[in-house]
Amino acid sequence: MGTINTALYNASNALGVLGQAFNVVENNISNANTAEYADQTASFEPMPFDPGGQLPGGVEAGPLISSRNEYLEQAVRSQQTALGFASQRAGDLGQVQSNFSLTSTNGIDAALNNFFNSFSQLSVNPNDTESRQAVLNAADSVAQSFQSAAGAIQQVSTNVVSQTNGVVSQINELASKIADLNRAYGANPGAADDPSLDAQLHADLLQLAGLANYSLIKNDQGGYNVFLGGQTALVIGGTANAISADNSSNQTVIFDANGGDITAQITGGQLGALIGEQNTTLPGYLDSLNTLAQGFADAVNGQLAQGLDQNGNTPATPLFSYDAAGGAAATLSVNALTPDQIAAASAGAPGGNGNAVAMAQLADTPEISGATFTQFFGNLGATIGADVAGAQSDQQQAQAQLTQAQSEVSNASGVDLNAEAARLLQYQQSYDAVGKLVSVLDGLTQTLMNMVEGTA
């Protein structure tokens, strides 16, 4: 009877273990489409067998075996960081590019050409009032074009500041969630085998990767410590250390929880792109645009100052004015001149067209860094175009590499319904076999009991 009872005990225990295995398969199937869920496999461990020591042997449920591959997960996060950076940059700089097109009929390039052409037309009939008014109209178009281009850059900069604050808030929110999950790991020893907790943690880490670059260290409880930029402790165990952004000086500065400047550490993700745009890229565009606007205005004003207006007077008021401190491009404007005040004549030839001719020739004079005004503008437009094209290329490449990395993760740890069906069939067959064994043992037990009663 002892041997039969032991066999019954082991068989009954095996049914319970197989029941747990069924639950694992069911959970896998239910979470087949859950983000960042990794396929789990039930494990079985033998129990000690020693009849003399009252150890019946048998099988017990072992720890769940996760198919998650942290090396592949890190590859996905790295590509997510690269994609976040490139997508942010491509989107923001693309908004600037349209104002620096060389084919636009109402941009700076067209306005500059129209302006110098108006002086060429004026040189044909320097005393024609309509031609003089056309110069003033063309000058106003140039000023408006510069203001529009500067305004576009400044608007993108304003948007970048708003987005930066939003991304910082998202980072802090995710840090709090990760800290909460770390505490859940620490509070429950069995949490290490909780696939739902594991999936949520990795989903949060993946989202964070799109926002900024960071490194991870797995702690003893199963959670992760997160170091922003590889150095700043964003999450340590169950504690999240919030970061902050300061844009008061028109430059983005990121501070850690203790007020330390960590801006230089953040080089990836959306936040890395936003910092680079606000601190380097957009100011660079605006500086070049201001250089062009100021160089153009100074050259035009200087040339006109050498001539005579329709009344034979030296100009008392320049054609253009600007505020260098506020940015020449954003503040460029045309002073209130009347058509007769345009200095079309040379100083030695009142009523002539000498200065109008000289003004028209400015279009082909290398006035700024060895380039003409339109060449300088073209170089700036080419720089912006190259930046946008580079960001778009990086975006496409990062997306392709992310897709490939995600495919590798899916192959390694995604739920394969065919494989789950095979496991289910295997467990079912084992369950049926154990069930038959229990039935046989039950029959033997009843037979033995009947034999004992018959001999009593």
Residue 308 lies in a domain: yes
Asked if 164 and 77 sit in the same domain, the reply is yes
Asked if 316 and 446 sit in the same domain, the reply is no
CA angle 21–22–27, rounded 5-degree value: 95
Asked if 424 and 379 sit in the same domain, the reply is no
The region of weakest confidence among 72-86, 207-221, 222-236, 408-422 is: 408-422
Residue 35 lies in a domain: yes
CA atoms of 5 and 7, how far apart (whole Å): 5
Surface-to-core class of residue 171, CB atoms within 10 Å of its CB (0-12 exposed, 13-18 middle, 19+ buried): buried
Asked if 148 and 52 sit in the same domain, the reply is no
Please report which residue ranges of 31-67 form alpha helices under DSSP H. Answer: none
Could you say which of 404, 425, 447 is where a domain stops? 404
Asked if 362 and 418 sit in the same domain, the reply is no
Residue 409 lies in a domain: no
Supply the pLDDT for residue 321.
Answer: 97
Most confident of the following: 39-43, 184-188, 268-272: 268-272
Could you say which of 386, 404, 422 is where a domain stops? 404
Domain that holds residue 398: 73-404
Asked if 62 and 91 sit in the same domain, the reply is no
Asked if 244 and 263 sit in the same domain, the reply is yes
Do the strands 320-321 and 333-334 form a parallel or antiparallel pair, or are they unpaired? antiparallel
Residue 324 lies in a domain: yes
Coil, helix or strand at residue 368: strand
CA angle 440–441–443, rounded 5-degree value: 65
Coil, helix or strand at residue 57: coil
Asked if 26 and 145 sit in the same domain, the reply is no
Asked if 221 and 237 sit in the same domain, the reply is yes
Banded pLDDT at 228 (limits 50, 70, 90)? very high
CA atoms of 283 and 309, how far apart (whole Å): 39
Supply the pLDDT for residue 143.
Answer: 97
pLDDT at 430 over 80: no
The region of weakest confidence among 49-53, 259-263, 377-381 is: 49-53
Helices 417-455 and 2-30 sit at what angle, rounded to 10 degrees?
160
Please report which residue ranges of 55-128 form alpha helices under DSSP H. Answer: 70-97, 108-124
* Helix or strand run (H / E) with residue 233: strand 232-236
Coil, helix or strand at residue 309: coil
Residue pair 104/377 in contact (Cβ under 8 Å)? The answer is no
Please, what is the average pLDDT of the chain? 87
Asked if 368 and 450 sit in the same domain, the reply is no
pTM summary value? 0.85
What's the length of the chain? 456
Question: Which two three-digit tokens encode residue 324?
Answer: 């260098």
CA atoms of 60 and 29, how far apart (whole Å): 23
pLDDT at 64 over 90: no
Please report which residue ranges of 102-212 form alpha helices under DSSP H. Answer: 108-124, 129-187, 195-211
Residue 434 lies in a domain: yes
CA atoms of 29 and 414, how far apart (whole Å): 11
Asked if 41 and 126 sit in the same domain, the reply is no
Task: Give mean pLDDT, residues 276-292.
Answer: 97
CA atoms of 444 and 306, how far apart (whole Å): 123
pLDDT in tens, 289-345: 999 999 999 999 999 999 999 999 999 999 999 999 999 999 999 999 999 999 999
CA atoms of 215 and 387, how far apart (whole Å): 28
Our count of domains for the chain comes to 2
The 8-class DSSP code of residue 420 comes to: H
Question: Which two three-digit tokens encode residue 309?
Answer: 């207006």
The region of weakest confidence among 25-34, 206-215, 262-271, 370-379 is: 25-34
CA atoms of 186 and 223, how far apart (whole Å): 8
Among 264, 274, 265, 333, residue whose Cα is nearest residue 300: 333
Residue 138 lies in a domain: yes
Residue pair 226/201 in contact (Cβ under 8 Å)? The answer is no
Banded pLDDT at 422 (limits 50, 70, 90)? confident
* Helix or strand run (H / E) with residue 273: helix 269-276
Supply the pLDDT for residue 115.
Answer: 97
Banded pLDDT at 71 (limits 50, 70, 90)? confident
CA atoms of 241 and 256, how far apart (whole Å): 7
Higher pLDDT, 251 or 222: 251
Supply the pLDDT for residue 1.
Answer: 42
pLDDT in tens, 90-145: 999 999 998 888 777 788 999 999 999 999 999 999 999 999 999 999 999 999 99
Residue 441 lies in a domain: yes
Asked if 133 and 29 sit in the same domain, the reply is no
